[in-house]
Amino acid sequence: MVALQGELINLRSLKFEDLAFLYSLENNKSLWELSQTQKTFSKEVLRNYLDTAQRDIQETTQLRLLIISKANEPMGFIDLFDYDAHNKRAGVSIVLIEMYRQKGYGKDALNLLVKYSFDKLFIHQLYCNVLEDNFASICLFESVGFTKVGIKKEWRYYKGVFKNEYLFQLINYVL
């Protein structure tokens, strides 16, 4: 069980009581362009996911943490995905409910996850993929030290439009 405390928010591992929040966020169609979701998730599928979310990142190659307010209200999720212990790297993604965006909560969550990744998982490199027009996410990742290292031309197709996607990296030179 992962539990991390930040200045503005806390992060913790998912629990079965998070099912309703997980269901609402995963099935929020306004986020589907970012998540590349193409159909709704059933509660049964998400219950099964919560079973695997309790397992170690070494086994599942993924870690999803709930972003919660100091008043214990769910605000969003932050993930490590495609965890590769051999190459010491993982992808990062974050989603916040709209009312919590651009208020410092995402930056606090991302800083906590970066520190945890480097200090506890001994990751050498984190990366993320951001659509070229997602200016808030670009600013967020750059604000904690991620560097834009590439562009994937016409990488994402959504509602009849191809969009470019940027690749960002953060390398831990302390290892």
Tokens of 124: 């050498």
DSSP state of 30: G
Which residues touch 94 (CB under 8 Å, ≥6 apart)?
Answer: 67, 76, 77, 78, 79, 106, 109, 110, 137, 140
**Nearest-angstrom CA–CA distance, 38 and 55:** 26
Domains and CATH numbers, the chain: 3-126 (3.40.630.30)
Residue 131's CB is within 10 A of a number of other CB atoms, namely 17
Which residues touch 56 (CB under 8 Å, ≥6 apart)?
Answer: none
- Residue 58: φ, ψ to 5°: -60, -30
Average pLDDT, the chain: 92
pLDDT at 175 over 80: no
pLDDT of residue 40: 77
**Each residue of 118-172: pLDDT tens digit?**
999 999 999 999 999 999 999 999 999 999 999 999 999 888 999 999 999 999 9
pTM metric for this prediction: 0.91
Per-residue confidence at 32, pLDDT binned at 50, 70, 90? low
pLDDT of residue 20: 92
Tokens of 143: 């604000």
Alpha helices in the chain (DSSP H): 19-26, 32-35, 43-53, 57-60, 105-119, 135-143
- The better pLDDT of the pair 46, 114 is held by 114
| Region for 101 from its dihedrals, namely left if φ exceeds 0, alpha if ψ lies in -120 to 50, beta otherwise | beta
- Residue 128: φ, ψ to 5°: -150, 160
Amino acid letter at 43? K
pLDDT of residue 91: 98
